[in-house]
Structure 1
């Protein structure tokens, strides 16, 4: 019999009722097509198309990492590399929080040569999973850029390049751009930089990374072109000294909530933006929308919850997560496990650069234990790396998985599809729960849990929206 899924909504809980599964009806479960997931592991990335085909002039195509990586590596090799990047990303985010809060306590302005506070693109740490392509300068020269909601500063590698890593396109040369304008040390935009200094070129910037990678150079204003849209006088970093393994990207498009982020600099057109992050093991591509199209998409089929800014960490989008449900039942959690305290530590952010959702240990253990009970009908497998809850699904066609739900302070709920909760870690049928505990203060809703979900950020009304099946 065909399996049917209908939604039943009760206060604070979203249930999915599935049709007959092994002769029974399960409430609070979703189906996972194991066979289809394993077949997708050997698929090739989609060919790049015109990113505006059928879309509006404020739309960018979003690509996953495999578009820029040559070679014939196995899924297992790619997955292990992802986990290495992932661990570094989370460590660097938490270190940034600690460094910034400690800096606030002692006071003082950081300078470029201090290499202190970490304003990260996080590309080596995992945010380099998703890219877009924009034009820089006049005439526009195309560059791959990493998308990152955990960063503000927009930057590209620039000539003259004292130390540049390899990238897919020629390094941007500002001497050939009619719209490149250096920024003075006394300008308002220079004062917005978290790490700034003054040199012979004017205002200098630095973005530093948890693994020692960095970009240092001149700050300027430049024209950026994306889709069929040209945006003038965008503050960008022009990196003359850069170090790191950035997978062919020419720089970073910061999508954070700070005053130098790309959405903020867009003004009214950046007040609302949305993205769809595709499954990195699929053949499809996603998109990033700004302007009227993003507003229209944000209002279609989304559930909204407030986002708020930590006054000491303006970059991040914090959301008021209060509960987690498993299989339609609320998990018992400490009352303040997801709140940040008077020092600015703690809280939950939505981050495009972190892959695996990280929860405070007490919350993770409670959620995991409830999930294990709900998965008792399936055989266990050994854990691997950061994953301690794995299953042997080899030979299975479709299995039922307890639905994991995020529940927010205003009653909004997001019930995650099974494919966003249980992911393959090898090509033989081992699947693991795609959550992990964090040793830091920050909890993070990662991009595996966001895949296939349209995520919208509305800074006018301070709302984050989630829409299932709208990509």
Structure 2
């Protein structure tokens, strides 16, 4: 079984900070980390590149963000937004049908927003106008705010004006591209997306030139030009969809980048990761697991999570707990969610290893928390996620956040969600053509 191990310690985001004193080279079943409160050093230099198209990927509230509002959200705010997304993913994945609800004039695409913590900057139009957008593997259709606005939220950059782009055009109703949305209209194709947290966007389904880099320009890129938008988009111009559907950026650029993309989420908002289109830079160091497909949510990326280990010992969890509906790998969910019985086993084992530390009150879904004040070092058991063909050994920031076990369970659903906390510092590779998802450890730099 291949193993992708990442044993670097740096508490981030809404967490305490620590530095690693021991790694897993000598087969230890625990990490020993130093407990201190110094902030990580700010490094906004670009991450390592490759032959693929690589875009800087930053935390929207971190010091490397292009936005003026760089204040990090509180733990309560993060977990509240995260729960909105998880609740919607659960409802959507359990539905028996994925047909969008359509009214008389526009296609309405149920979707999910919630977290939206990481952003990239691309260019729309001719001449190119910079637009900073949220990256989302759980959405297909990309969109940005457009003039003239009937209702637009405040964004950092000037709102895109399609009348100033020589390459812009709307999609006619009789176009095959419009029929994919099941739109019913009389002139141009209209779209509407309603997200799980109540946010929404609507406007004209359009195409224009998309500039990813000076050497990477996508002609006739299909996107939503939103003139009526509201919700929790927080200074961004919109969203870039990286789902498996035909409207996503990945599918639209398949002839160029061969339906492969990857990203590396930085372990701290004080640094930069990347989003790549094309093959990973270190293909020889990539380990893969099968990409599964859900008939209920074909745009989502499912994998086969088959087990969890704590302290080097695999937990006694029935395989049926994970196999019923699979596990979603999602860039927009923060905290990994497990079926209730699987989380119960993880929590019990983790608490047993951590019994020497005093407990602290829970915060929302984080129900296994500790008070480490007065301790110079902390001993944390190793936690590994076992997929079909791949074992991911998590770093301490993927195990412990804000003094709490960085996992949660939920009732009423049998599938899991691998959140971005556990993905950080791995390069996560999505190879749609070969239907596989890969992991490269220590890949952000």
- TM class by shorter chain equals 0.7 to 0.9
Distance 1:304 1:219 in 2: 36
Distance 1:58 1:32 in 2: 36
TM-score normalised by L of structure 1: 0.83
CA, structure 1 residues 115+85, in 2 after alignment: closer, same or farther (shift >3 Å)? farther
Displacement after TM superposition at 1:53 (Å)? 8.4
Match of residue 422 from structure 2? 449
1:439 aligned onto 2:411: yes
| 1:53-90 deviation digits (Å, cap 9, x = unpaired) | 866571100010212564685x6x52222112111111
Displacement after TM superposition at 1:374 (Å)? 1.6
Distance 1:14 1:284 in 2: 21
- Asked which structure has the greater RCO (Cα within 8 Å, sep 6+), the reply is 2
Distance 1:215 1:379 in 2: 47
Displacement after TM superposition at 1:114 (Å)? 8.3
Match of residue 11 from structure 2? none
Match of residue 162 from structure 1? 150
CA, structure 1 residues 12+451, in 2 after alignment: closer, same or farther (shift >3 Å)? closer
Match of residue 339 from structure 2? 360
CA, structure 1 residues 232+71, in 2 after alignment: closer, same or farther (shift >3 Å)? closer
Match of residue 412 from structure 1? 390
The 5-angstrom pairing of residues 19-58 of structure 1 reads 27-35=28-36, 38-40=37-39, 46-47=43-44, 58=53
Match of residue 119 from structure 1? 111
Match of residue 221 from structure 1? 207
1:139 aligned onto 2:127: yes
* Match 2:198 to one of 212, 232, 254: 212
Distance 1:129 1:251 in 2: 13
1:296 aligned onto 2:281: yes
CA, structure 1 residues 117+334, in 2 after alignment: closer, same or farther (shift >3 Å)? farther
* Match 2:379 to one of 400, 411, 417: 400
Task: Give unpaired runs (5+ residues) of structure 1.
Answer: 1-9, 341-345, 425-430
Is the Cα–Cα contact under 8 Å of residues 109 and 192 in structure 2 kept in the other structure?
A: no
Is the Cα–Cα contact under 8 Å of residues 60 and 289 in structure 1 kept in the other structure?
A: yes
Q: Residue 373 of structure 2 aligns to a residue in which SS?
A: coil
Displacement after TM superposition at 1:239 (Å)? 0.6
Distance 1:155 1:392 in 2: 44
Distance 1:322 1:53 in 2: 32
Match of residue 94 from structure 1? 90
Distance 1:11 1:88 in 2: 34
Distance 2:148 2:5 in 1: 55
| Number of equivalenced pairs | 423
Match of residue 82 from structure 1? 78
Is the Cα–Cα contact under 8 Å of residues 51 and 281 in structure 2 kept in the other structure?
A: no
1:176 aligned onto 2:200: no
Task: Give unpaired runs (5+ residues) of structure 2.
Answer: 8-19
* Match 1:59 to one of 54, 57, 65: 54
Distance 2:142 2:5 in 1: 38
1:192 aligned onto 2:177: no
CA, structure 1 residues 446+220, in 2 after alignment: closer, same or farther (shift >3 Å)? same
Distance 2:346 2:98 in 1: 34
Displacement after TM superposition at 1:311 (Å)? 2.6
CA, structure 1 residues 11+301, in 2 after alignment: closer, same or farther (shift >3 Å)? closer
Match of residue 458 from structure 1? 431
Which of 158-167 and 61-70 deviates more?
A: 61-70
Which of 331-340 and 202-211 deviates more?
A: 331-340
Is the Cα–Cα contact under 8 Å of residues 101 and 108 in structure 2 kept in the other structure?
A: no
CA, structure 1 residues 94+173, in 2 after alignment: closer, same or farther (shift >3 Å)? same
Structure (1/2) with the larger helix percentage: 1
Displacement after TM superposition at 1:357 (Å)? 0.1
Distance 2:298 2:356 in 1: 45
| 1:406-428 deviation digits (Å, cap 9, x = unpaired) | 1122x31111011111012xxxx
CA, structure 1 residues 31+178, in 2 after alignment: closer, same or farther (shift >3 Å)? farther
Match of residue 391 from structure 1? 370
TM-score normalised by L of structure 2: 0.87
CA RMSD in angstroms, aligned pairs only: 2.8
Q: Residue 419 of structure 1 aligns to a residue in which SS?
A: helix
| 1:77-105 deviation digits (Å, cap 9, x = unpaired) | 5222211211111112223334x52466x
Match of residue 428 from structure 1? none
Distance 2:147 2:387 in 1: 47
Q: Residue 232 of structure 2 aligns to a residue in which SS?
A: coil
